[in-house]
């Protein structure tokens, strides 16, 4: 858990900023706007993680068949 301490802290701060922004902005600022902003932020965060993981899996499967020279060029 120690390894993920900064990531968890950063996620909580970003969600708090999203909640604050939703609570203070918009024509209907308040709790409902805050919940909408939090929902959108959470959905986008989950999509980012899942798409990044998918991209890593695809890259690993493609790189498996490459020459070591081209692997090094791709990874640097």
Q: How many domains, the chain?
A: 1
**CA–CA distance, 62 with 42 (Å, rounded to integer):** 30
The pLDDT value recorded for residue 27 is: 84
Proportion of the chain above pLDDT 90, given as a percent: 75
Domain holding 13, by residue range, is 2-75
Strands (DSSP E) along 1-76, which ranges?
A: none
What tens digit of pLDDT does each residue of 57-75 get?
Answer: 998 899 898 999 998 998 8
DSSP letter, residue 27:
T
Can you tell me the distance from the alpha carbon of 21 to that of 33, in angstroms, rounded to the nearest whole number?
Answer: 9
The pair of structure tokens assigned to 67 is 């020459």
The CA distance from 40 to 21, in Å, is: 12
* Residue pLDDT, tens place only, 25-57: 988 889 999 999 999 999 999 999 999 999 999
């Amino acid at each position: 858990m120690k390894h993920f301490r900064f990531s968890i802290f950063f996620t909580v701060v970003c969600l708090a900023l999203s909640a604050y922004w939703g609570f203070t902005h918009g024509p209907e600022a308040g709790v409902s706007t805050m919940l909408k902003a939090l929902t959108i932020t959470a959905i986008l965060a989950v999509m980012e993680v899942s798409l990044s993981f998918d991209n890593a899996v695809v890259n690993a499967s493609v790189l498996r068949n490459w020459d070591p020279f081209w692997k090094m060029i791709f990874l640097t």
